[in-house]
Each structure stands twice: as structure tokens, then as C-alpha cells.
């Protein structure tokens, strides 16, 4: 049995105790942008319930064009007003450079990605960079509450990046 099949069995149990449907727009009018890291259970970390917040995740919790797309849809079509960014300690993105990553792929498959891996050398600096990318986007209407945090994978605690 594949892991996917095992997780589908879990879903059957989830559906047994599920009560829905809930409304489409997020009840708390919040969008979260977090790293894809397996140790960050965003609903747990922030005490979210089903229906509360949009959750956008990727390698690093960085803001690229696709996160601008998602945040634009989140705010303009579904009424979210606050943005929470979450990077975390012990992040894989701290362990390599874009140049190394792209060269390794070129060496192995013969094609170099046209995109950056978005690796970073400092967590707080990259949180600020992610906030700056949102602030400079003309497509995101509500920028009054954009706050960035580092999640500590040892303690479960969020620390704000000032």
C-alpha cells in the first residue's frame, strides 16, 4: 500500500466526523503565507478552524509571482484583509545557494531552470524581503496588516520580525 493510499484511509475517518459545508470566504479575513515544511501545521500553530483563513504555502514561505496571484485573489475576490507570513528555523532554504541548485540540475538533466530556487542566507532578512514584495505589488489592495514571523521548530513558538 502506498502512502497515498494510507492517507486516503485517514480521509475516510475524517469524513465520518466532518460537518459542512462552510461559507467560501474566510471567516477571519486572513491569508497566511507559510513554508511548505512538514513540521509546520498551520492550523495548529495559529489555532485555526476549518473555514477561518486562506493558507498559501511553498518552499521557504517566500513571495513570488504565484503568491502575489493567490493573495490578489484572496483579497480582491474573497475579502481577506490581513496577511501573516511564516518562515521557520532549520529551514532547508538556508542550506544551499540558488547557483548551486540550478547548476546541479543543469549537470544532471541538461536543462537549467529559468527560475530562482529562492534560497536565502538569513531568515529575518527574507521575511522582510517577502513583505517588501507584497508592499510593492500594485495588485494587492489591503496592506495595513502585513506581519512576518519566524516559527521555531524546537518550541512551536512564533517570533515576530520587526
Footprint on residues 19-78 left by a second copy (CB under 8 A): 20-22, 24-31, 36-59, 64-70, 72-74, 76-78
1, 10, 143, 162: residue in contact with a second copy (rule CB under 8 A): 10
Based on the shown chain and the rule CB under 8 A, indicate whether residue 3 belongs to the binding site for a second copy: yes
77-102 burial: b if 16+ Cβ within 10 Å, else e: eeebbbbbbbbbeebebeeeeeeebb
CB of 136 to a second copy, least distance (A): 12
In sequence order, the 6+-apart residues with CB closer than 8 A to the CB of 4 are: none
**Cβ contacts of residue 102 below 8 Å, gap of 6+?**
112, 113, 116, 117
Q: Is 91 labelled a binding residue?
A: yes
52 is in an annotated binding site: no
Residues 102-141 that bind a second copy (CB under 8 A): 104-105, 109-111, 113, 115, 117-118, 138-139
Amino acid at each position: 500500500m502506498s502512502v497515498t493510499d494510507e492517507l486516503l484511509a485517514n480521509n475516510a475517518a475524517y469524513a465520518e466526523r466532518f460537518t459542512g459545508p462552510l461559507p467560501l470566504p474566510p471567516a477571519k479575513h486572513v491569508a497566511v503565507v507559510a513554508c511548505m515544511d512538514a513540521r509546520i501545521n498551520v492550523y495548529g500553530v495559529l489555532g485555526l478552524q476549518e473555514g477561518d483563513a486562506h493558507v498559501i504555502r511553498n518552499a521557504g514561505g517566500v513571495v513570488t509571482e504565484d503568491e502575489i496571484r493567490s493573495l490578489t485573489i484572496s483579497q480582491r475576490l474573497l475579502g481577506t484583509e490581513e496577511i501573516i507570513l511564516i518562515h521557520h528555523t532549520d529551514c532547508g532554504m538556508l542550506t544551499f545557494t540558488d547557483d548551486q541548485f540550478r547548476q546541479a540540475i543543469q549537470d544532471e538533466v541538461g536543462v537549467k531552470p529559468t527560475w530562482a530556487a529562492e534560497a536565502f542566507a538569513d531568515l529575518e532578512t527574507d521575511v522582510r524581503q517577502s513583505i517588501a514584495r507584497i508592499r510593492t505589488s500594485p495588485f494587492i489592495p489591503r496592506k495595513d496588516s502585513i506581519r512576518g514571523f519566524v516559527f521555531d521548530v524546537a518550541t512551536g513558538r512564533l517570533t515576530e520580525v520587526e
